[in-house]
Structure 1
């Protein structure tokens, strides 16, 4: 099935000098519907230095949320 995908142009491949085919893992995952791992940025801020504890609380909640979503 993978060779058929390669021949039809659905998947990228590399043909080695010996005639063997190599398929990037990212291409297989793409066809199987697996999303590539991305990056997540977390941004928190407060309006003054007096709110440092609030900032730490915000940061912790954002990190926990990202982890709960598998990010």
Structure 2
């Protein structure tokens, strides 16, 4: 959901400079929304996109992963560097859950 994704920006910049021929990634790691638009953008620069689909998840697993990401996001904004402690705690709860 972040707009300032450095890795994605770098991929697009490499595509603009014609320094890559293909992008291989999991579909939802590349982008959560607007995947088809991103594929068209890469095609415009002559870059093929090979996207893998992750294994289907049940709704509880997906809900828990979304919850963890939200907590991590808010924790990093609130606690800054101390965020790592919160993230580890949440990840431990997720593993135990």
Relative to the length of structure 2, the TM-score reads 0.27
- The structure carrying a bigger helix percent of its residues is 2
The answer to which structure, 1 or 2, has the higher relative contact order (CA under 8 A, 6+ apart) is 2
Higher strand share: 2
Q: Which structure would you say has the larger Rg?
A: 1
